[in-house]
């Protein structure tokens, strides 16, 4: 229902007990509409960001494929602007399907890369999503070992048993799993004993100013030691400066991701190389 019009024909907030809630609802609704239209027209793409080896940052361990959509005006919108609004809806499942589809297609055309794709725990039981995964793994025997599925901690602990079963089934086929945004707020350490993640991605908030922030030094070291104990590859997220990177290298973090080593890009280097090789 639209709000009553004022004298100058602009909508007013009269009759709305909570103007802030009204404004937020309106914004969410337009976000949902934008995502729906983009999905209908398959206006989505992946942006790729490198995760580098800490002791030799010239080596890329893998790339993270981040879903982006194009809005009605042609602008490219990053996931963080729309995922929170649609994550628990059917649209969230469709976004996960599209991200996986795009990621598997990239792995197929570019045999030199390993790629991680984000997935909500809500999608792992989704028949359409599973069908895309099965088809992708069958399309090329090297794809399973080059695919990493990232599940956020908050999402994983909503249904740890389902996540555990799913991981076991696909780890047997060679797929790796990363626990995303570790430490961001829903940590339940007891599940870590039962969930055999291959990679632990430590939330970027603990990386900020790590070279001079004593609190972050203690917190990140504790999170990293948990990863090491469970034999997971540790990744520090959101590394922005050389000073942060130097500190992380000194405490033995395995890999780093962040603007310091490359922002997400929809034009990754391997595409231009392929094109050059093809034309030259």
Closer by beta carbon to ligand G, 46 or else 97: 46
Integer Cα distance of 278 and 280 in angstroms: 6
Nearest distance from residue 237's CB to ligand G, in Å? 5
Question: What's the token pair of residue 162?
Answer: 């389902």
Nearest distance from residue 237's CB to Mn ion, in Å? 8
| Residues in 109-148 at the binding interface with Mn ion, rule: CB under 5 A | 118
Q: CA 151 → CA 42, 179, 189, distances in Å?
A: 23, 5, 15
Nearest distance from residue 178's CB to ligand G, in Å? 9
Site string for ligand G, 179-218 (x = CB under 6 A): -xx----------------------x--------------
Looking at 31, 43, 118, 123, which residue binds ligand G (CB under 6 A)? 118
Q: Counting contacts by CB under 6 A, is residue 66 touching ligand G?
A: yes
Looking at 2, 9, 73, 80, which residue binds ligand G (CB under 6 A)? 80
Q: Counting contacts by CB under 6 A, is residue 110 touching ligand G?
A: no
Q: What are phi and psi of 243, to 5 degrees?
A: -65, -40
| Residues in 127-186 at the binding interface with ligand G, rule: CB under 6 A | 180-181
Q: CA 136 → CA 105, 109, 128, 175, 274, distances in Å?
A: 8, 12, 12, 12, 21
Q: What is the DSSP letter of 11?
A: B
Closer by beta carbon to ligand G, 22 or else 154: 154
Q: Counting contacts by CB under 5 A, is residue 180 touching Mn ion?
A: yes
Binds 234, which of Mn ion, ligand G, none (CB < 5 to 8 A, cut-off by type)? none
Nearest distance from residue 185's CB to ligand G, in Å? 12
Integer Cα distance of 239 and 82 in angstroms: 23
Which residue is closest to ligand G by CB? Answer: 258
Looking at 22, 230, 240, 265, which residue binds ligand G (CB under 6 A)? 240
Integer Cα distance of 144 and 175 in angstroms: 5
Nearest distance from residue 103's CB to ligand G, in Å? 13
47 Cβ contact list (under 8 Å, min separation 6): 65, 66, 68, 76, 78, 264, 265, 266
Q: What are phi and psi of 195, to 5 degrees?
A: -100, 110
Among 182, 166, 175, CA closest to 237: 182
Question: What's the token pair of residue 48?
Answer: 């790729």
> Using CB under 6 A as the criterion, which residues of the chain lie in contact with ligand G when the complex forms?
49, 66, 78, 80, 118, 180-181, 204, 237-240, 258-259, 264
> Using CB under 5 A as the criterion, which residues of the chain lie in contact with Mn ion when the complex forms?
118, 150, 180
């Amino acid at each position: 229902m639209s709000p009553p019009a004022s004298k100058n024909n602009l909508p007013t907030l009269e009759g709305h007990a909570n103007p802030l809630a009204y404004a937020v609802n309106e914004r969410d609704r337009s976000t949902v509409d934008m995502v729906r239209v983009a999905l209908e027209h398959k206006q989505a793409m992946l942006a790729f960001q490198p995760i580098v080896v800490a002791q030799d940052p010239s080596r890329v361990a893998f790339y993270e494929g981040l879903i982006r959509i194009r809005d009605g005006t042609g602008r490219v919108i990053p996931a963080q602007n729309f995922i929170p609004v649609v994550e628990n809806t059917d649209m969230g499942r469709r976004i996960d399907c599209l991200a996986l589809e795009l990621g598997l297609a990239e792995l197929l055309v570019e045999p030199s890369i390993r790629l991680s794709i984000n997935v909500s725990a809500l999608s792992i039981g989704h028949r359409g999503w599973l069908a895309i995964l099965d088809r992708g793994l069958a399309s090329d025997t090297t794809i399973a070992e080059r695919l990493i599925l990232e599940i956020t901690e908050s999402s994983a602990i909503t249904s740890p048993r389902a996540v555990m079963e799913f991981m076991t089934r696909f780890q047997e086929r060679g797929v790796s799993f990363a626990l995303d945004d570790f430490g961001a707020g829903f940590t339940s350490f007891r599940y870590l004993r039962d969930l055999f993640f291959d990679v632990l991605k430590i939330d970027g908030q603990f990386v900020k100013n790590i070279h001079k922030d004593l609190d972050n030094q203690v917190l990140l070291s504790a999170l990293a030691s948990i990863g090491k104990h469970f034999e997971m590859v540790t990744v520090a997220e959101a590394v922005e400066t050389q000073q942060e990177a130097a500190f992380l290298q000194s405490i033995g973090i395995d890999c780093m991701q962040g603007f310091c080593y490359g922002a997400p890009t929809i034009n990754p280097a391997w595409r231009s190389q392929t094109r050059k090789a093809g034309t030259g």
